[in-house]
């Protein structure tokens, strides 16, 4: 598959979260300038990230020298050191970075980062905990809640939609959900159509308002 090129991204803080993020961006064809103040952490990533710098991201001169203000997008992936997380984020705002993502470790930390001017905040531990709760409590194989309360659920088809063309199941009017894709056993995912007939072993992807999609996925 051809690589997709995206705007370059600055990643500040190369702990577990930041380094995984930076490496995944590079794997997806995005250029990354990654910064951490610990030389060991930076050395461990040598040759795997487009540009690496050992630097303190709370020093405005250093960020200017690195040209951070020319980037459209940056991620502050510092968790434990609140002072550094907040200062680095506010410097990115001052430098005019248009799209700032920041990692928070608590809801209070999140609120501060919002006030400082971060555009998107992620709470990885909290968000993942919530997501796993949806999975461990029932039949769902995967669950992604989109920000407007809409969800995508990966599951096996409930009994009532097995063996009938999807177009005849009245899924949308009865349950408020849509089967978007289907993966028959041993095959790849394909789009579901009104003529698709599901089998018990299939894996399906359902889209709909979160509560409805979840309720439907839990039906036997
Ligand atoms: P994780 O839980 O993802 O491992 P951490 O908060 O433990 O995240 O790691 C944050 C990383 O950010 C560490 O590697 C640390 O050296 C780096 N870091 C912290 N403060 C600064 C700073 N002021 N400038 C640059 N890097 C920093």
Give the residue-averaged pLDDT of 76-104. 97
Average pLDDT over residues 111-139: 91
Report the residue among 10, 12, 13, 77 best suited for mutation to probe ligand 1: largest number of ligand atoms under 8 A from its CB. 13
In this structure, of 84-98, 107-121, 146-160, 184-198, the range with the lowest mean pLDDT score is 146-160
- Among the atoms of ligand 1, which is closest to the Cα of residue 87? 23
Mean pLDDT of all residues in the chain?
Answer: 94
Residue 4 has pLDDT above 90, yes or no: no
| DSSP states along 72-138 | SEEEE---S-HHHHHHHHHHHHHTT-SEEEEE-SSHHHHHHHHHHT-SEEE-HHHHHHHHHHHHHTS
Residue where the block lists tokens 């630097």: 55
In 45-82, which positions are buried (b, 16+ CB within 10 angstroms) versus exposed (e)? beeebeebbebebbeeebbeebebbebebbbbbbbeeb
Residues 163-186: what's their mean pLDDT?
94
Model-level pTM greater than 0.95?
no
What distance in Å separates the CA atoms of residue 21 and residue 16, rounded to the nearest whole number? 9
Q: Cα 150 vs. chain centroid, distance in angstroms?
A: 15
* Predicted pLDDT of residue 139: 84
CA of 76 to the centre of ligand 1 (A): 9
Ligand 1: residue whose CA is nearest its atom 14: 15
Stretch 63-88: mean pLDDT: 97
Q: Average of pLDDT values for 164-170?
A: 94
φ, ψ for residue 128, nearest 5 deg: -70, -35
Q: What domains can you pick out in the chain, each with its CATH number? A: 6-122 (3.40.50.720), 129-217 (3.30.70.1450)
Cα 18 from Cα 106, distance rounded (Å): 17
Residue 130 pLDDT? 86
Supply the pLDDT for residue 167.
93
Nearest-atom number in ligand 1 for the CA of 84 is 23
**Does residue 2 carry a pLDDT above 80?**
no
Q: How far apart are CA 208 and CA 219, in angstroms?
A: 15
- Contact between 108 and 134 under an 8 Å Cβ cutoff? The reply is no
Ligand 1 center to residue 81 CA distance, Å? 7
Q: Kindly report, residue by residue over 22-73, the tens digit of the pLDDT.
A: 999 999 999 999 999 999 999 999 999 999 999 999 999 999 999 999 999 9
| Percentage of the chain lying above the pLDDT 90 cut | 85
| ipTM value | 0.95
Pocket of ligand 1 (CB under 6 A): 12-18, 35-38, 41, 56-58, 78-81, 84, 88
- The closest-lying atom of ligand 1 relative to the alpha carbon of residue 85 is 20
**How much is the average pLDDT of 75-94?**
97
């Amino acid at each position: 598959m051809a690589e997709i090129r995206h705007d370059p991204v600055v990643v500040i803080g190369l702990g577990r979260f930041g380094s995984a993020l930076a490496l995944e961006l590079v794997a997806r064809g995005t250029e990354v300038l990654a910064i951490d103040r610990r030389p060991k952490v930076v050395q461990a990533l040598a040759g795997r990230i487009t540009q690496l710098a050992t630097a303190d991201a709370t020093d405005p001169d250093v960020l200017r020298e690195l040209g951070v203000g020319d980037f459209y997008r940056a991620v502050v992936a510092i968790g434990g050191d609140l002072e550094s997380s907040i200062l680095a984020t506010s410097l990115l705002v001052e430098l005019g970075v248009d799209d700032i993502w920041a990692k928070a470790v608590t809801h209070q930390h999140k609120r501060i980062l919002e006030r400082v001017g971060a555009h998107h905040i992620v709470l990885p531990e909290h968000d993942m905990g919530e997501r796993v709760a949806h999975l461990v409590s029932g039949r769902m194989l995967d669950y992604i809640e989109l920000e407007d309360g809409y969800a995508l659920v990966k599951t096996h088809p409930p009994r009532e939609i097995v063996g009938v063309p999807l177009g005849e199941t009245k899924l949308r009017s009865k349950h408020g959900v849509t089967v978007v894709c289907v993966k028959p056993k041993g095959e790849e995912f394909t789009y579901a159509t009104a003529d698709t007939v599901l089998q018990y072993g299939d894996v399906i992807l359902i889209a709909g308002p979160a509560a409805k999609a979840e309720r439907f996925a839990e039906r036997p």
